[in-house]
Structures are given as structure tokens and as C-alpha cells.
Amino acid sequence: MIGANTPEAAAPRRAARRVLLAKPRGYCAGVDRAVQAVEVALEMYGAPVYVRKQIVHNTHVVAGLERRGAVFVEETDEVPEGAVIVFSAHGVAPQVREDAKKRGLRTIDATCPLVTKVHNEARRFAAQGYDILLIGHEGHEEVDGTTGEAPDHIRLVDGPAASDRTEVRDPAKVAWLSQTTLSVDETQQTVAALRKRFPLLIDPPSDDICYATQNRQAAVKQIAAQSDVVLVVGSRNSSNSVRLVEVALDAGAGAAYLVEDAAAVQPGWLAKAGTVGLTSGASVPEDLVEGVLARLAGCGFTDVQPVEAVPERMQFALPHELRQRPARR
């Protein structure tokens, strides 16, 4: 579990045992689209359908798709020639597409449209001769995919402290982009630090941090200051879930923990709590949240109060490769 502070150090804010249930939470439109893409591909083509990397960063989702016949691989060279492969929601570099083409793979691109937007921005800035400062976490699949669009132009900046070490060819031609799942506040701090070094820094045409990441962070901010403990349902490799823990702590939660599921909730965290805040990352199915609610109810937290920060109705169409469904082979 990822967390900080201790519930023992924070006095309960209310005597009643209640749950503040953040909304929106859980699946975003891009995740829902990606998971559906694998499910529909399995219906269309039958098992196995190969998926490069985790389709989304949630261990339960991946395990569920594996049971249905999805095979997760790290790279395209692990896939038999001519097979069906789905690219994950985090996007891929052009070289990955080329490798798949050389192997005769039938590709289904489940890249989130908001990630595709960042790829397009990277190509456009590079074509104009800009150095691109990509704010993100080294090794994250989304960062690798974006970097692959313009490797000679992109410099990775992993947080405000890294701005001091960032070098560019021409300070008059610098633009910034970001990974879509970052903390809004930390990204703004990083941009401010970069702008001190590069006053002519160009902004992207629109915000790169996706609507779902921003909405979930806004929701957790609303419940954090009233919560002795905030529980974030999500996997350790989910950037947006980890950021929710950090945002909850920064917004005043007595403690905050990242949990895979109900089994990871430790009773000791709740012993002195009057109010528990509950949310989930953008790649988390709602049944995992319901499981945590049931566990909290067993510990006396039966009063569940939804707290909605902003309505969310975004939907994305399936990848075009799946919109006309051929007969199953």
C-alpha cells in the first residue's frame, strides 16, 4: 500500500462513522474504450488476442481479460506473425507500429484519443523546429510513446526539480507538453519553474492533462479536508491513482492509502477515524469500489455520502478497426 501520515496522528474530525464517496471516480472514457476494444476483439476474432503491455494499469482488469483469452506481451516480437494485437490506452511510438506491420500483425489501436492529441502536438512542434519539454515520469508507457514521435526534439522533465537540469538548443524555440495523468498542481509548478529558465516557453494549444485526471483530483480535494483517512482504489503502476493519494494528502487528509481492493484495507487505519474518503483511479472498475464499501460497512462505516465535484459524461467511440465487425474466424 502507498500512503503517508498515520491515522493515529490525526484526531477524528467527526464522531459519526461515515464515508465520503467521491464522484467522478473510476473508469474514464479512454479506459472504458480500451477495455471494450479487447472484449470486442475477442468476440470478433476469438482467443487468443494479444495486447501489448497492460491495456490499462489495473491488475484486476488485466487478470479478467486474461481469463477470457487475452495474452499480454511486452513487445510485438512475442506475437505470432499474422495474429491480432491491441495497442494499449497509453499509446505507442511509431517504431512499434512499424514493427507490427513488418510481422504482418492485425493491429487494433486502443490509444486514448487524449494521448493521441499529445502525440499530434509533439509532431507539430517538432516539425516547427521546437525543443519539446515533456513533463512526465521516466519509463511510463505514455511517455515512451510520446517521446517516440519526436525523439530528437523531446527532453523529459520529471517534476519541478528537474527543470534546473534541462538543456535546450535554442531558448527562443521551446514548448512544453505533459503526460496526461499527472498531478495538475505539480505540473503547474513544473511549468512555472521551466518558464523562469525559458521565458519564451510555448504552451500546448490546450491542456494536456486529461479531463478525467483533473476531475478525479478535484473530487478528492473536496473530500480530503473532511476525511481522517482517504482510500484510493487503484494499482501501484497507475500514475493517476498514485497522484490521487498525493493530492488527498496535500488537500488536508489525515492519511491516504492506495489499495488494490477491499482485502488491502487494514482495520488499524480506521480505528480512530470518523470519516473515510473513498475514490478510485481512472482504470478501476466500480465493483472494486463496491467491495471496499462493503468492507467499510463491516467496520461500522454505513453512512455513505456521495460528493460530486463535476458532472462527467464523456464517451469515446471504439477504435475504427472494430466498428465494422466481420464474422468470427
Cα dihedral 313/178/234/92 (nearest 10): 90
> What are the backbone dihedrals phi and psi of residue 208, each rounded to the nearest 5 degrees, phi first?
-80, -30
Q: How far apart are CA 92 and CA 295, in angstroms?
A: 38
* Residue 74 is a catalytic residue: no
What is the separation of C-alpha 225 from the centre of its chain, rounded to a whole number of angstroms? Answer: 24
Q: How far apart are the first and last CA of the chain?
A: 43
Q: Which three cell numbers stand for residue 43?
A: 468476440
DSSP secondary structure, 134-191, as one string: EES-TT-HHHHHHHHHSTTTEEEE-SGGGGGG---S-TTSEEEEE-TTS-HHHHHHHH
Quote the radius of gyration of the chain (alpha carbons, Å). 21
CB–CB of 49/86 below 8 Å?
Answer: yes
Please pick, among 142, 149, 246, 260, the residue that the annotation labels catalytic: 142
Sheet containing strand 84-87, edge to edge, reads: 70-73, 49-52, 84-87, 106-109
Q: Which residues are catalytic?
A: 142
